[in-house]
Amino acid sequence: MPALGEAAPDFELLNQFGEPVRLSELRGRNVVVVFFPFAFSGICTGELCEIRDNLALFEDSDAVVLGISVDSKFAQRAYAEKEGYAFDLLADFWPHGAVAEQYGVFDPGTGMAKRGTFIIDANGIVRYLVVNPRGQARDFTEYRTALAGLGRN
């Protein structure tokens, strides 16, 4: 798992439209990487809908939101369309969970990503991270605090 103050590991994954998204190409903007276990699951949907409903908070901090799970791009697209997500959902489908593993949040026993959040500044440095226990939703107010500490680029 990358530590606070370290460079975030670069990755490239396909979004829900099959378009490649590379973390390093987002330099110059803050990035919020939200690993979630599975599309269409209860807690995940609640968390991502909270991001959807408060997207202005991220935009005001010049932050791009990337949701990542081990689901396929097809499942991600259906999920984004059903819930109206206006941010990228990335498929860490194959090699299965490789990016989640790179970030230290892959659970090989269940084959899914843990609820990990990494806020990366415009220079690619991890400035905030949290991994929530299974079944425990993230605290949305922590996003506000972490993003406020970054400022706008």
What residues act catalytically? 44
Q: Which of 130, 36, 149 is nearest to 88 (CA)?
A: 36
The beta strand positions in 1-114, using DSSP E, are 12-15, 20-22, 30-35, 63-69, 88-91, 106-107, 112-113
